[in-house]
């Protein structure tokens, strides 16, 4: 099959896309045919849909966010002394896995080293051996995490920050090239350690830029992400890599808890955000947990637009997850245990979402309409597609199982929801449509964001 040229998005169209709901991080990373995975190698990830993200490190002792060292200009000695206090008592990674499973996650992503440079494994490549193995805890938390994930049946993701604030060369790579080169050397050595020892399924970079300026892509001259990722893939040819190394990656990222609106996004993408509503990814004492209904609607909005949902928790210095977070994670998981067939392994479509009213997912000959506003939905009609509806029924709420009438009108199909639908307070009213045959819907598109104006 002839390969079509990727489409370039530039100028006003690009601006228009950027100002809309999706702010894909690291748009326009370098392209490299050798690194491009075929869609079938990404399918497990696309089917997995739900992941749990964990930010945990020295910053969890201070509780003022993972950027605390930089934001508060904490002197090197003072911050690094925390490494001797990072000794989680009676902590077992199984606790995190219980929560990940409780939440319904199929994969996890753990911060193995954030921008502060502290590594959570026995890293020989770590500059000055600033690790949990050489200091306080004397433990290899990444090893414990990877083993616990596998035992729990979760795919293993590792977050790694190429940049490290400990190096003055990070802030002035051209003025201090030797120091910057040391940081790069650390990055290559550590990515190799992570990939060769723990064999992750996902490598999740963050901070592939320089001096906090420009973008990951504009710093690619320094990091040489194609070389870096070829090395990483030599340990797992099917390793999934996010887009923040300067190479375009296997999927896009949309970060933060802003709403997702607009149409289906026809590329693999992941929304990453926190379960708490504060401004930090690392532990903070007073960080309110987001509302359950809001979380469900966020998840539905993501999945109905083709995305995965990666939700972050910040354990405290002892690795403990607060009761409020635990409760909320299980609550979402309980929902997924009942309605998961409309989420896991489901594709977005065939109907385009209508913001705050409904969206849809499907697999086989079933279409799941996720209705977020029953009243507004009553005046909507579904467009005709190639598939005919055989029957329709409520799937969620107190009236689950009740038939929904599908009336064909010249404008489209009007679904008549039973009286009282949605009055039981469900955040998402699901209607399952059984189609006469397998659903046919559009696949992925190839879109090339250049990031150029």
Footprint on this chain of ligand GLC (rule: CB under 6 A): 66-67, 206, 255, 272, 281
Instruction: Kindly state the smallest distance separating residue 238's Cβ from ligand GLC, in Å.
Output: 23
**Minimum CB distance to ligand GLC smaller for 54 or for 82:** 54
**Minimum CB distance to ligand GLC smaller for 18 or for 87:** 18
Instruction: Kindly state the smallest distance separating residue 284's Cβ from ligand GLC, in Å.
Output: 13
Query: What are 434's strand-pairing partners?
Result: 366, 391
Instruction: Kindly state the smallest distance separating residue 129's Cβ from ligand GLC, in Å.
Output: 23
**Minimum CB distance to ligand GLC smaller for 86 or for 209:** 209
Contacting residues for 274 by C-beta, under 8 A, at least 6 apart:
257, 280, 281, 290, 311, 312, 313, 314
Instruction: Kindly state the smallest distance separating residue 33's Cβ from ligand GLC, in Å.
Output: 27
**Minimum CB distance to ligand GLC smaller for 164 or for 206:** 206
Instruction: Kindly state the smallest distance separating residue 3's Cβ from ligand GLC, in Å.
Output: 32
**Minimum CB distance to ligand GLC smaller for 217 or for 272:** 272
Instruction: Kindly state the smallest distance separating residue 218's Cβ from ligand GLC, in Å.
Output: 16
Pairing of strands 107-113, 155-160: parallel
- Contact (Cβ atoms closer than 8 angstroms) between residue 243 and residue 249: yes
Instruction: Kindly state the smallest distance separating residue 257's Cβ from ligand GLC, in Å.
Output: 11
**Minimum CB distance to ligand GLC smaller for 79 or for 368:** 79
**Minimum CB distance to ligand GLC smaller for 66 or for 140:** 66
**Minimum CB distance to ligand GLC smaller for 132 or for 272:** 272
**Minimum CB distance to ligand GLC smaller for 272 or for 342:** 272
Sign for the CA dihedral angle at 295, 298, 302, 307 comes to negative
Instruction: Kindly state the smallest distance separating residue 51's Cβ from ligand GLC, in Å.
Output: 12
Instruction: Kindly state the smallest distance separating residue 431's Cβ from ligand GLC, in Å.
Output: 34
């Amino acid at each position: 099959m002839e390969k079509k040229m990727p489409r370039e998005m530039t100028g006003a169209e690009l601006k228009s896309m950027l100002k809309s709901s999706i702010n894909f991080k690291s748009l326009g990373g370098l392209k490299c045919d050798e690194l491009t995975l075929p869609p079938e190698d990404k399918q497990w990830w696309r089917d997995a849909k739900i992941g749990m993200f964990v930010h945990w490190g020295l910053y969890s002792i201070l509780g003022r966010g993972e950027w605390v060292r930089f934001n508060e200009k904490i002197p090197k000695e003072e911050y690094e002394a925390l490494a001797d206090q990072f000794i989680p008592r009676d902590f077992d990674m199984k606790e995190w896995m219980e929560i990940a499973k409780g939440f319904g996650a199929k994969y996890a992503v753990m911060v193995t080293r954030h921008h502060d440079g502290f590594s959570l494994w026995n890293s020989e490549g770590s500059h000055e051996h600033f690790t949990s193995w050489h200091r306080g805890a004397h433990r290899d938390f990444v090893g414990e995490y990877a083993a616990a994930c596998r035992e729990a049946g979760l795919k293993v993701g590792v977050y790694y920050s190429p940049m490290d604030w400990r190096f003055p060369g990070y802030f002035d790579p051209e003025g201090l090239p030797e120091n910057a080169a040391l940081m790069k050397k650390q990055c290559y050595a550590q990515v190799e350690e992570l990939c060769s020892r723990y064999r992750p399924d996902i490598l999740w970079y963050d901070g592939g830029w320089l001096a906090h300026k420009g973008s990951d892509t504009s710093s690619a001259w320094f990091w040489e992400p194609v070389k870096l990722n070829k090395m990483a893939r030599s340990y797992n040819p099917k390793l999934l890599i996010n887009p923040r190394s300067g190479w375009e990656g296997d999927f896009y990222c949309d970060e933060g808890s802003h709403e997702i609106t607009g149409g289906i996004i026809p590329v693999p993408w992941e929304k990453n955000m926190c379960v708490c509503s504060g401004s930090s990814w690392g532990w903070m004492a007073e960080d309110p947990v987001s509302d359950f209904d809001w979380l469900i609607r966020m998840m539905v909005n993501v999945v109905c637009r083709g995305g995965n949902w990666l939700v972050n928790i910040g354990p405290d210095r002892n690795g403990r997850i607060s009761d409020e977070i635990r409760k909320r994670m299980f609550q979402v998981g309980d929902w997924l245990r009942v309605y998961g067939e409309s989420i896991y392994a489901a594709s977005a479509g065939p109907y385009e979402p209508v913001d705050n009213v409904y969206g849809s997912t499907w697999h086989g000959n079933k279409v799941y309409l996720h209705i977020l506003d029953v009243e507004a939905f009553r005046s909507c009609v579904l467009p005709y597609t190639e598939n005919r509806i055989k029957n329709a029924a409520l799937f969620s709420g107190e009236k689950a199982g009740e038939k929904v009438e599908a009336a064909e009108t010249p404008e489209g199909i009007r679904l008549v929801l039973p009286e009282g639908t949605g009055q039981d307070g469900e955040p998402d009213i699901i209607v399952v449509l059984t189609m006469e045959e397998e659903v046919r819907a559009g696949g992925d598109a190839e879109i090339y964001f250049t990031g150029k104006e």
